[in-house]
Amino acid sequence: MRIGIDARMMGGGFGIGRYVEQLILSLQKIDNNNQYILFVKKIDNNKFKSKNFKQVEADISWYSWAEQIKLNKIIKREKVDLMHFPHWNIPLFYNGLYIVTIHDLIMFHFPRPEATTLGPIKFWLKDFVHRIVIRNAVKKAKHIITTSEFTKDDINKTLGVSMNKMATIYQAPFTTINNLQFTINNDVVLSKHNIVKPYALYVGSAYPHKNLDSLLKAWKLFLDKYEVDCQLVLVGKESYFYNNIKESDIANRLGNRVIFTGFVDDFDLDLLYKQSKLYIFPSLYEGFGLPPLEAIARGLPVVSSSSSCLPEVLGEGALYFDPNNIENIADTINEGLYNEDIRHQLLINGRTELQKYSSEKMAIDTLEIYKKNCG
């Protein structure tokens, strides 16, 4: 069986890129029989050494018109038996057999003009086209992989897709650890980012649904109400949305009690996780919620929004708050930072919750989907 995988977003240190990389690396370990054709932006012979994994260059930007036209032709030349698209941006005129992974339906629930740098007319056109593409993707797919039962149910209710056409396959938390250098580099990394006090951590983007404005307001309330001296560290690639947060009135009032690191590499990120006192995840909507799971995997207590899939994914490994209630967020942060009984129990519960997640299991379950839906 010749299985194609759209791997153009592989890596990248976040979201779908993590998912694609994790899946392919795990498939290499468990499957020596099928032939895999990886459509990549740039060929990397160091990462893929298995003989049954072939790379085909497809240096085409995601969500572009070229993607709709050129990618289709590149895939067809390889004559794959089954194509796996890890996201809904599938060429409209692709007629081969395929499965698709749908991570979330954010565009249907947060279709806000402020969630883009485009003007209102361009935003409307972009949103309209994206909705056509995703509806076409789920309609023509042989099968759909979802990353949580929440998303599976959401697709069923929002797009009318039969539950029998979908299967939930969880991701696994990503960790990259170099314990030998951890102690040596710790102070250097903290100093580089002006972290000088005990701190809580958030890792992710600053899109409006991530609810960072509410987090900063809650952090200010927490500091004032409980009279403590801590820093909040926000890790995420610089963007239009992060700049808006950094320039906000609440960020200015917090001063050096909130730190924006910008993008950090995996090694520094691991150190930032490990030295943090608490991980905070205030999101209003997620399809899976990988960052708080990665925090749990590093032995970090987590307080999280109670919205969307997060209670499903984090289970009893997190302490929850109402993401729309600033005071509730502030009080929950205080519990997560200073209630030692709760912190201890969260670490115990977290280890239990992590047993549900494995990159090898994700690959095995995905391979089973390939076998059932080819032909």
Burial 217-240 (b: 16+ CB within 10 A, else e): bbbbbbbeeeeeebbbbbbbeeee
Q: What pLDDT does residue 235 have? A: 95
Give residue 366's pLDDT: 97
Of 19, 306, 374, 324, the closest CA to residue 150 belongs to: 306
Residue 309 is which amino acid? C
Tokens 């941006």 sit on residue:
89
One digit per residue, the tens of pLDDT, for the chain of length 375 reads 999 999 988 865 567 888 999 999 999 999 999 999 999 988 887 777 788 999 999 998 887 888 888 999 999 999 999 999 999 988 888 999 999 999 999 888 876 555 555 566 676 677 777 788 899 999 999 999 999 999 999 999 999 999 999 999 999 887 655 444 445 467 788 888 888 889 999 999 999 999 999 999 999 999 999 999 999 999 998 888 899 999 999 999 999 999 999 998 888 888 899 899 999 999 999 999 889 999 999 999 999 999 999 999 999 999 999 999 999 999 999 999 999 999 999 999 999 999 999 999 999 999 999 999 986
Q: Which long-range contacts (CB under 8 A, 24 or more apart) does 252-255 make?
A: 253/220, 254/216, 254/219, 254/220, 254/223
Burial grade of 51 (CB within 10 A; 0-12, 13-18, 19 or more): exposed
Residue ranges and CATH numbers for the domains of the chain are: 2-172+358-372 (3.40.50.2000), 179-354 (3.40.50.2000)
DSSP secondary structure string for all residues of 37-70: EEEESS--TTT---TTEEEEE----TTSHHHHHH
Whole-angstrom CA distances from 328 to 63, 141, 145, 209 are: 38, 42, 35, 18
Of the candidates 145, 181, 177, which has an alpha carbon nearest to the alpha carbon of residue 20? Answer: 145
Cβ atoms 21, 171 nearer than 8 A: no
Which residues are CB-contacts of 117 (< 8 A; sequence separation ≥ 6)? 240
Closest CA to 209 of 311, 309, 100, 284: 284
Which residue carries 């590499």 as its tokens? 265
Strand 35-40 with 143-146, pairing: unpaired
- Output the pTM of the full model: 0.89
- C-alpha closest to that of 114 among 247, 213, 208: 208
Using only C-alpha atoms, the chain has a radius of gyration, in whole angstroms, of: 21
- The answer to whether the CB of 263 falls within 8 A of the CB of 12 is no
- DSSP E strands, the chain: 2-6, 35-40, 53-57, 82-85, 98-102, 143-146, 166-168, 199-203, 231-235, 258-262, 278-281, 302-305, 319-321
